[in-house]
Amino acid sequence: MTIAPMPPRPQQQGSSRAAPTPPPSSPNAVGAVAIDPVRLLRKYKWVFAASVVLGAVVGFASYQVLRRVAPSYESFALFQVDPVQTQAGVATATIDEREMERFMGTQVQNMTSQQVLQRVVERPDFAGGQIEWAQQFTRGGVVDTTKARMQLEKLVSARPIPNSQLIRLASTAPKPEDAFNLVGMVREEYLRSISQVEIRENENQQRALETQINSAEDQIRRLLSDRDELLRTEGIDSLDGRATQLQNKLRDLNEKRGMYRLTIDGLRAELRRFERENQSPGGPAFDDALRQQVEQEPMIVNLRQRISALESEIQTMDNKGVGPRHRERLSIQALLDSARSQLERDRQTAMERAWFGRIQQTRNMIETYEAQTVQLDQDIADVQRQANELVLIQSQVADRTQRIDALRESQNDWSKRLANLQALAQQAGERQRRDRFQRDLFLDRIRVAQSERVPESLAFPRLVIIGPLGVVLVVGLVGGLVVLREVLDQRVKGPADIAIIPRTRVVGMIPMSDEDPSRPTSVETAFRDHPAGAMAEQFRAIRSPLLRRMQQAGHRSLLVTSGMPDSGSTTVALNMAYAIAASDQKVLLIDANLRRPKLHKILKLADHPGLSDVLAGECPASKAVVSSGVENLDILPVGSSDRRIFERLGSEVMGQLLTEAADRYDIVIIDSAPLMVSGDGIALANRTDASLLVVKALSEKRGMVARLKNDLQDTRGEFLGVLVNGVRGSSGGYVRRNIRATHEYQSKEG
């Protein structure tokens, strides 16, 4: 039925015609295929189980074939390596690890050297029938020793056993008796080869030690002569006595110099005090000592005596009754006053003369002591120089003494080692303890710890190794093929395959309808018919971020298109329209698939009047829009078949229609034909605000999705991303478990 046109809605800030913003690069965007090992293991678990069984069969069969075609037995002997002997028959208490490592490495090389192996192949019993393996190198009773030795190098091996003093000599052969005999021959020839080597080594060591001892003796004599000559040249009998004498003299001089410095400091302080008193306004303050010194001067003494005589005369006159006005008394009184004045003047002059004399005396004393201090400094420097020269001589003498002691210590050590080597050689010569190869047992550091034995079991092949190896190889090959298949498989199986396409946003995914526990009868109306189902919940999960993005950008129209037919774009468009309408948004769903329309059939509506009639100008949009039977959702059908002209989808009329619809609805959703079969989707993408690409899992390839994504990004509308439809749990990792949990949670009552 038709509906009345709605009043225009106010234009939102950020018009629906706002310029699209490119989608951000996906955080998982990489250039390689993401492989989920857990998903692969679950998907191909029966293939891997079969590969394990097949690998076990292959391993057992390989073991049976190899034990008949190329059997190998191993026999070995062990050698004990002893430390270096420091005394006759006694080993060192502390083992030199580096020396042992070098010695054992040398012996390992000697055991498998070409010289030893050449002696083995030249033995009469090598080709005499005792070793069956050797018959292949015998022609006319003559052994090809070169070829035999080269092959023997591959069979014989030697190596030190870690964390021990043992060397393992081993040989492999197709027959157990051949392996046993080959090890025995190599062991015997090796022991024979080292016998004379050890004797010559002992003799060489003795000669080297004797040379070192004689050289040390010559150096000691030269050093003693140098030390004595040094003492004679310096005229020193006793270094310690001379050093003590210089130290005592230096100490006395330093003490005397210190006393002089203290005296000079005191005199200078007194001189500064004298100078300050001279500069004071009242003049210097004469002390009692200075006054007493002046009073002792003859001139002052004479004046005092004269004054005393005059005072006596006046006293006599007083006694005689002579009055103060008497002429004679006045004369004597005048002489007394004159003498007293003269005394004061002479006393002041004498005190000043004595005061300045004291200052000059202090200066003279300072100069005297400073001159003596300078002489003491020269004496101290001279004594210090003599002490330094003596220290240098002591150092030279000590150096020669130390070198002499070190040489004597080394000489004693070399003498002990020489005596031990001589004792070892003497014991070997006296007791004649030699084996059948004339090996000197006292000089030998190598002894057989365990002789070779005839092997009782195969060294190769071994079932415990071949069996698991077959399983590992087969399972590894199958796993490699599985991974290669996954890498080469370009089909989109889930959101992860979209995420690896650079700059491609994954909007979400819709599971297969048969994996929804609610079992929707019609997948196109799953949201309406089963609102509590897993598919409906998935559309709700997609709706929220999709609406948020469109509202942020001010988008009002959304194109839903697909790459290939039957990808589910109509299903996504209709269910998404139901989901948005359920959120109290006014939605208009337009069927723009003019080539194969299905929307009116799904909803059981008439196909006209509809979009084609509106674009042809035969019918206004308000009369062509019909209700879907669901609140907030209206439908614009495809329209009359005779007016379905594809080119009109990209016309200005289509743009005007979308603009008017955006004024009356919150969201306008357009369903179009697949992009791979027509250009209708690209034309509509240039008229809509945003576009959404729907791809079907296990149907479309990543390369096609990337190309369609680029085509939609080049249009006017913003490309919001890719929605993966029809994802199966086996391909999506944990999709099936999440679907089941969602359904169980919503089915239970609180």
pLDDT in tens, 550-577: 999 999 999 999 999 988 899 999 999 9
Cα distance between residue 255 and residue 258, in whole Å? 5
For 86, list phi and psi in degrees, rounded to 5. Answer: -95, -20
Q: Are 710 and 691 in contact (CB under 8 A)?
A: no
Torsion (CA) 207, 210, 214, 215 in degrees, nearest 10: 60
Q: Please state which CATH number belongs to domain 491-747.
A: 3.40.50.300
| Residue of 636, 596, 598 whose CA lies nearest to 614 | 636
CA atoms within 13 A on the CB side of 662: 23
Q: What CATH class has 73-192+443-450? A: alpha beta
Structure tokens at 652: 């200005």
Pairing mode of beta strands 626-627, 633-636: antiparallel
Cis peptide preceding 609, ω within 30 of 0? yes
Query: What pLDDT sits at residue 442?
Result: 41
Which pLDDT band, with edges at 50, 70 and 90, does 198 fall under? Answer: low
List all residues 6 or more positions away from 716 whose beta carbon is below 8 Å from its beta carbon. Answer: 20, 685, 686, 687
pLDDT of 149 above 80? yes
The answer to whether residue 438 scores a pLDDT higher than 70 is: no
- Cα 733 vs. chain centroid, distance in angstroms? 36
Pairing mode of beta strands 446-450, 718-727: unpaired
251: its two tokens: 């100490």
Could you give phi then psi for residue 314, rounded to 5 degrees? -65, -40
State the Cα–Cα distance between residues 588 and 592, nearest whole angstrom.
Answer: 12
What is the identity of the amino acid at 299? M
Contact 610, 579 (CB under 8 A): no
Q: State the pLDDT confidence band at 683, using cuts at 50, 70 and 90.
A: very high
CB 732 within 8 A of CB 534: no
DSSP tag of 642: G
Question: What percentage of residues in the chain have a pLDDT greater than 90?
Answer: 31
Q: Which residues pair with 138 in a beta bridge?
A: 143
Pairwise CA distance, residues 433 & 440, whole Å: 7
Burial letters for 10-39: b for 16+ Cβ neighbours within 10 Å, e otherwise?
Answer: eeeeeebeeebeebeebeeeeeeeeeeeeb
Q: Which fold has domain 239-377?
A: Helix Hairpins (1.10.287)
Task: Give the residues across from 692 on adjacent strands.
Answer: 560, 721
Q: What does the alpha-carbon distance between residue 614 and residue 648 come to, in Å, rounded to a whole number?
A: 10
Contact residues for 296 (Cβ-Cβ < 8 A; gap 6+): none
> Whole-angstrom Cα distance, residue 676 to residue 684?
14
Tell me if 38 sits within 8 A of 733, measured CB to CB. Answer: yes
Cis preceding-peptide flag for 597 (omega within 30 of 0): no
Q: List, for residues 35-75, the tens digit of each pLDDT value.
A: 667 777 877 888 888 999 998 999 889 988 988 888 999 99
Amino acid at 240: D
Rg (C-alpha) for the chain, rounded Å, is 61
Tokens of 97: 């690890």
pTM of the complete model: 0.48
pLDDT band at 310 (very low <50, low <70, confident <90, very high): confident
Beta-bridged to residue 79, according to DSSP, are 167, 448
Q: Which amino acid, one-letter code, is at 129? A: G
Least confident of 142-151, 201-210, 624-633: 201-210
**132: DSSP letter:** G
Distance CA 238, CA 236 (A): 6
Residues 528-538 pLDDT 10s: 988 888 888 89
pLDDT for res 114: 92
What gap in Å lies between CA 497 and CA 35, rounded to an integer?
10
Biggest CA–CA distance in the chain, Å, is 184
Which letter does DSSP use for residue 733 in this model? Answer: S
For residue 23, pLDDT over 70 is answered with no
Average pLDDT over residues 313-318: 86
Residue 224 corresponds to which tokens in the numbers above? 């003693």
- Going from the C-alpha of 215 to that of each of 133, 400, 410, 420, the distances in angstroms are 57, 16, 11, 20
Q: Where do the structural domains in the chain lie, given as residue ranges? A: 41-70+461-488, 73-192+443-450, 239-377, 491-747
Q: What is the pLDDT of residues 452-468, one digit of tens each?
A: 899 988 888 888 888 89
Which of 315-319, 393-397, 514-518, 641-645 is least confident?
Answer: 514-518
Average pLDDT, the chain: 82
Encode pLDDT of 73-85 as tens digits.
999 999 999 887 5
Tokens of 99: 């020396």
Identity of the residue numbered 50: A
Distance, CA of 730 to CA of 565 (rounded, Å)? 24
Is residue 511 helix, strand or coil? strand
Minimal CA–CA distance to 637: which of 602, 667, 666?
A: 602
pLDDT band at 10 (very low <50, low <70, confident <90, very high): very low
Among 92-101, 157-166, 358-367, 635-644, name the one with the lowest average pLDDT. 92-101
